[in-house]
Structure 1
Amino acid sequence: MKEYIEIKAPAKINIGLKVVSKREDGYHNLYTFFYPIYGLSDILSFKKNNGDYFISNNPAIKNDESNLIIKAKRLIESRISKNLKTGITLQKNIPMGAGLGGGSSDAAATLISLNELYSLHISYDELIQMALELGSDIPFFLKAKPSIGQSRGEILEQIEVDIDCFVLIVNPHIHISTAEAFGHVHPSESNWDYKKMIEAEKFNFSRLQKDTSNDFEDYAFTKHPEIKAIKDIMIENGSLFSMMSGSGSTVYGFYDSRESALYASNKLNHSYLRRIYNLSDY
């Protein structure tokens, strides 16, 4: 019987994000493509213990209901009517409030890990519903495979597509409230089909750049012009495709070599968080 689990919780980027409509329950229907970034991951460990504790390398993350890890644990405990005395450690590597899904990924990792550590036998379908109670993009992270996401993000269709190039991820340390961002979006139907932009399991980047968009960019770029400047610099310096992820403020660009990604990175403000990952490695 296991006493300890360590798990990586990857970041994600949105390749296009369309807010389709506002729902009667107050949420929004979305159309997006989730792509995991395994090179950028939080690391969580879960240990059976005589009592609960939570430790993180980021003091801003509290041991309370504002923490999606704690919320996920309590949701599972409510589901099984039992307290799971667990020591939890989080190494936080994914920037917070950045459109990379770090908190959501941590929550999904918590559901997965506690289910396995305590042999709870909660089915994948049940985990999906629990994940959706916690947040709209959390279901994606239960498997974290390239997927088209619809409805609130929980209707997922895994797609065979490989992005075998380098990604430059840049975060200017600007926090954008998701609720505030949604308040400035005007929902409309999507006019693109991701499947028509994939050829031989590869994205056609020129079509992606021409035909897709992120509905949150207009608001983010207007309020914070430096975010738009990041995207412009990426495109001007060899990016195959560039876009803001989620509701921001992270911007990413795909490059055909590490050298070209590094060249673009060096054109940006050096105070920004700048990371390059080889997507072929994952």
Structure 2
Amino acid sequence: MFNFYFDTRHISSAVYQFCIQIGNIIVEYLNYTYLAPAKVNFVLKIGEKNPANNLHYIFSIIRRVSVFDRITFKINEDGNKLKVIPGKTILKQLDKKELEEYADNLEKKLSDDDNLIIKASNLFFNKINLKNKYINAAVEKNIPMQAGLGGGSSDAAGMLNILNRIYNNPLNYDELNSIAVKLGSDVSFFLKEKDALVAGNGEIIIPIAEKSLKKYYIAVIVPKFGISTKAAYEAFDDLVLTKKINYYNILNLNFSSKLDILKNTNSANESDSINAENYCEAVKLKDLNDLSELGIGSEFENDFEDVILDMYPVLKDIKNFTIQQRTDKKAKAEAGMLSGSGSAMFGVFKTAKDASAYIADIENKTFSSQIKFKFLGETDFKEKLNQLKS
């Protein structure tokens, strides 16, 4: 973003240090802003636990969606400060009392040193040995918490990427990712800034070339409660135990070894994106819609639905509503499913008109009183992102 280059062969050490100081002053004077997108899981398969860290192996196809948190910050030497407020998308969906309660909840849960943005910046400055560097940040929060939409992870990954650019890319992708894995399983995904196949404990990220992906409009439905990821995994483990079903076999067909071959391309270069043809050659698939070789029934599948929909009836109501809409041919949804471990559900549509009609129809259902937020996003959002940045 801002680069300061000096030819030290022709200036004294004192002048060089002065130039560096001027550069640092400029960096600390400026305001920086970035947009952090939400995500949805088109596929999420849960494997057994990794004995090294007791975390489940996963295989997922994750796509970013044009619902954004907006983060503005300055770099300073006076300590971390963080203010979190509801974003514009949230504001228009809440009345005055609801808004006050929501804002208070954001402040209590997010505005402290445990916030992933603060953790990310602290770890970055430590990694590059910069002392007494902090951030003063304001977050306009449009992505609901504990909804399976990756808001906190996206915010943290965005902070890592922009700090790295501000300081002239001192860290390569692997070094940045070594920070990301300490912050959460989805942070590595957002660090790539691309839709991707995700495996392992979330650290194996294989970006998918844009031309290999269909564009969809995403209707996101968020109920009046959140779901803890930890609690969701515990419930899934109980389901496996009580019903004596098997975890998804990620090691099937030597899939892990094929991923090992591909993950060697995990650097930050644009050329690292694989297209569908190359990926399918590696895992013996015809295309990204043909997932049967991996024991996956369709392009849209989430193992958490086996347990979460029974725990939260309104989520099952939303799922059944989507199915009924398809049966009655009132909506042309490609799928309706849970994102991550929830609580958000989402419908997948080929047109914005169909997605908007789906959201409007939900207003008339009895379960609509249990819904807090409704968003319309899209998976291909370069143009929208440029408009929001301007």
Q: In structure 2, what is the Cα distance between the partners aligned to 1:107 and 1:131?
A: 8
Report what 2:72 is aligned to.
Answer: 45
2:249 paired residue number:
189
- Cα deviation, 1:154-199, whole Å, max 9, x if unaligned, reads 1011123333232111111221111111112233215899944746
Q: Which residue of the partner structure matches residue 227 of structure 2?
A: 176
- Checking the alignment, whether the CA contact within 8 Å between 1:63 and 1:70 is kept in structure 2 is no
Q: Determine if contact 1:233/1:267 at 8 Å carries over to the other structure.
A: no
Q: TM-score, normalised by structure 2?
A: 0.65
Deviation at 1:212, TM superposition (A): 5.0
Distance 2:235 2:43 in 1: 17
Indicate the residue corresponding to 1:216 in structure 2: 304
Aligned residue pair count? 277
Alignment of 1:98-109 (within 5 A): 98-109=147-158
Instruction: Specify whether residues 233 and 197 from structure 1 end up closer, same or farther in structure 2 by C-alpha distance, changes over 3 A only.
Output: farther
**Which residue of 2 is the match for residue 12 of structure 1?**
39
Rounded Cα–Cα distance in structure 2 between residues aligned with 1:230 and 1:157? 31
1:137: how far off? 1.3
Q: Say if 1:182 and 1:264 are closer, same or farther in 2 by CA, change over 3 A.
A: same
Q: Which runs of 5+ in 1 are unaligned?
A: none
CA distance in 2, matches of 1:116, 1:104: 19
TM-superposition CA deviations, 1:108-154 (whole Å, max 9, x none): 11111222234461111100111001111111111221111000111
- Residues 252 and 222 of structure 1: is their aligned pair in 2 closer, same or farther, counting only changes over 3 Å? same
Q: How far apart are the structure 1 equivalents of 2:177 and 2:298? A: 33
Please tell me the root mean square deviation across aligned C-alpha atoms, in Å: 2.6
Q: Which has the higher strand share?
A: 1
Native 8 Å contact 1:16 1:243 kept in 2? no
Determine the C-alpha separation between the residues in 1 that align with 2:227 and 2:202: 20
Once the 2 structures are TM-superposed, how far is the Cα of residue 211 of structure 1 from its aligned partner? 6.6
Counterpart Cα distance in 2 of 1:211 and 1:102: 23
Structure 1 position 249 matched with structure 2 position 340: no
Q: 1:273 to 1:90 in 2, by over 3 A?
A: same
Distance 2:309 2:146 in 1: 16
Q: Which amino acid aligns with 2:305?
A: E
Contact residue 209 and residue 242 of structure 1 kept, 8 A: no
Query: Does residue 56 of the first structure (1) align with residue 84 of the second (2)?
Result: yes
Percent sequence identity over matched residues? 32
Find the residue that maps to 2:154 and give its secondary structure.
helix
Structure of greater Rg: 2
Q: Unaligned regions of 5+ residues in structure 2, if any?
A: 1-22, 86-105, 241-246, 256-278, 326-331, 363-367, 383-390
Q: Residue in 1 aligned with 2:195?
A: 146
Q: Which residue of 1 aligns with 2:375?
A: 275
| Cα distance change, pair 7–229 in 1 and its aligned pair in 2 (3 A) | same
What is the alpha-carbon distance in structure 1 between the residues aligned to residue 351 and residue 375 of structure 2?
14
| Distance change >3 Å, CA 279–CA 50, structure 1 → 2 | same
